[in-house]
Amino acid sequence: MKIDRNSALPLYYQLKEILKEEIDLGKYKPGDQIPSENELATILNISRNTAKEAIATLVSEGILYRIQGKGTFVSEKKIFNSLKEDFSFSSEFKTSGPGLVTKVIFAEEIPEVPEMLDYLKLKESTELFRIQRLRTFDNVPFALQTSYIPKFFCPNLLSFNLEERPLFEILKENFEIKFGYFTERLTCVKADKYEAGLLRVKKNEPLFFLTRKTYTQSDEIIEVVRSFMPGDRCEFSFNCGEQVSIELNQKSIQELGCL
């Protein structure tokens, strides 16, 4: 642990990055207590205010948490990584133990919804399955997902146990669906009353809103899923090639007076 006083980076920021690196490398594990502000100030020969600012920033980012009268501790790692080259949501957790639980809120057959049919690029009227699932990890809800699937791909889908088996496993093994690729779109929204209740957050708290379209090898959309995830419980990583496209919401920028 060393501070570079010749660096252009502020001292508090250097300390913040040092602590994050030590946590990433496993020196401090979830639940471990880190040195106090006074101890860090003494070790690094910096002011207590500098140490306090670094720790406060990490607390606000959810990396550390405080217990009054006891100290500052390392938070549990955030529980979801997405935007990856993997079709199955559940496969993200194969190495995470039995803590992942899926609860089906509802699974129903619905008549044609013009907007959704257009979204699915379906030219003819057809029935859809609408399935909403709540994902929890160690009893903490972290994703509310609603899937829309054309019935003609999998006529008796609702007869399967959608809590015990991953949806994509059922589609692949029981209906011989050959998956081709998917697209994802990520934005941020505020939780409404319904979402807040299921995800155990306050109304209007920020949520990640991830929309995924999954295509078959014949370029047909097999599923559209919309996922709401609390911002303080989730993080995203991706590795999908060298090019990354960032689309600006021009309307929002104009409203903020940035253009």
Q: Residue 49's closest CA among 60, 40, 58, 61?
A: 40
**Alpha-carbon gap, residue 214 to 11, rounded angstroms:** 46
- Spatial contact of 201 and 233, defined as CB atoms under 8 Å apart: no
Model pLDDT, residue 95: 40
The DSSP annotation for 11-30 comes to: HHHHHHHHHHHHHHTTSS-T
The tokens describing 220, both together, are 């047909």
Q: How far apart are the first and last CA of the chain?
A: 43
Model pLDDT, residue 56: 92
Model pLDDT, residue 257: 58
Model pLDDT, residue 125: 56
Give the containing element (helix H, strand E) for 258.
none
pLDDT in tens, the chain (259 residues): 678 888 787 899 889 988 988 887 788 988 999 999 999 999 999 999 999 999 998 988 778 999 988 999 998 766 655 444 455 555 554 444 567 889 999 999 887 666 666 666 665 657 889 899 999 888 889 899 989 898 989 999 999 999 989 898 999 999 999 998 888 888 888 898 899 999 999 988 999 998 888 988 888 888 988 899 998 777 776 655 544 454 555 555 555 554 4
The DSSP annotation for 115-155 comes to: HHHHHTT--S---EEEEEEEEEETTEEEEEEEEEEEGGG-T
Model pLDDT, residue 88: 56
- Spatial contact of 152 and 126, defined as CB atoms under 8 Å apart: yes
- Residue 61: CB atoms within 10 A of its CB come to 12
**Domains by residue range for the chain, with CATH:** 11-74 (1.10.10.10), 90-238 (3.40.1410.10)
Model pLDDT, residue 34: 95
Model pLDDT, residue 253: 53
- Spatial contact of 83 and 238, defined as CB atoms under 8 Å apart: yes
Model pLDDT, residue 117: 66
